[in-house]
Amino acid sequence: MKANRPVMGFRLDIVVEPVDVGYRAYCPAFEELCWFADTEIEARRVAKRALVTFLRFLVKNHYGIPTEVIVTEPLRKYNVPMRKLATQEV
């Protein structure tokens, strides 16, 4: 059984905008990351999955995370754990 570990939550905005061919999605907290897709829904889904993977990498490797994306209030029951979020469809 794993020891109780503190739970850390994240809240990220994903902006989706039309471009010449398809849609571009990006997260203002991580401006260097952006994704392109054919539809708005696909762009949001790809961005969401990629951000979950990126945050897992940052946490696992002890890299800094921008403080504006860390949720400090207690997690509510409607918050989705990162492991479930990675497989969740938009």
Nearest-angstrom CA–CA distance, 88 and 73:
23
* Alpha helices per DSSP H over the chain: 40-60, 82-85
Q: Which residue has the tokens 């997690």?
A: 75
For residues 70 and 8, is the Cβ–Cβ distance under 8 A?
yes
Q: Residue 49's pLDDT is what? A: 92
Q: Residues of the chain with pLDDT > 90: what percent?
A: 33
Sign of the torsion angle spanned by Cα atoms 81, 84, 87, 90: negative
Average pLDDT over residues 61-68: 82
Q: Residue 87's pLDDT is what? A: 43
Please give the residue that has the higher pLDDT: either 70 or 48: 48
Average pLDDT over residues 46-60: 90
Q: Dump pLDDT digits (tens) for 5-41.
A: 656 677 888 999 999 999 999 998 888 889 999 999 9
